Amino acid sequence: MNQDFWDQRFRESGYAYGTEPNDFLRASVAKLPPGDALCLAEGGGRNAVHLALKGHRVTAQDLSPVGLEKAQQLAQDQGVNLTCVRGDLREFKPEPESVDLVVAIWMHLEPELRALVHRRAVRALRPGGHLILEAYTPEQLRHGTGGPPNPELLITAQQLQNELQGLTWLELQETERRIEEGLLHQGQSAVVQAFGQKRDR
């Protein structure tokens, strides 16, 4: 799924995944103080805007400039500010120990790139910082209610544990839940939810 794919998706009227934040993000971030947050593969901006409304200073990264335009529009509508960074995750290298929170909601990448992005995400966190992630597991293929149809792009809790070294897990589980996010994420879904804290040196 390249930039053209995502540009086309975000060019459609409305917000493909809605304007409300992801449920798991909403519940997890309620436990955290405001800080510097980085949202990876943020798309239309709903999660970044929620963080900004909670007082976080938010940088939203995405491959699609069309998606980031929608994110800026949503932020403007809600009266908050976002810093948007357009770039491919292959080249995107956040500064080490530069943020208090990294968010990755439905960031489905091919395995080698995903492992690289996960290492960079942990490196970007300050000691004591947090990571919040939700993704579809291979079991999602049975449901067909959202996410990529390619099993290589889906992920398990064990894979996350292997790729996100240096975190203490506050939550790490595979579960089934009903998701209602815009037009494209609707129905019973198989997901992995991860909420971790970077260990001190």
Tell me the pLDDT tens digit for each residue of 131-172: 999 999 999 999 989 889 999 999 999 999 999 999 999 999
Query: What domains are defined for the chain?
Result: 3-198 (3.40.50.150)
CB 113 within 8 A of CB 90: yes
pLDDT of res. 180: 87
Q: Mean pLDDT over residues 18-45, rounded?
A: 94
Q: Is the pLDDT of residue 17 over 70?
A: no
pLDDT of residue 112: 97
Number of Cβ atoms within 10 Å of the Cβ of 183: 12
Q: List, for residues 178-189, the tens digit of each pLDDT value.
A: 988 766 677 899
pLDDT digits (tens, 9 = 90+) for 116-136: 999 999 999 999 999 999 999
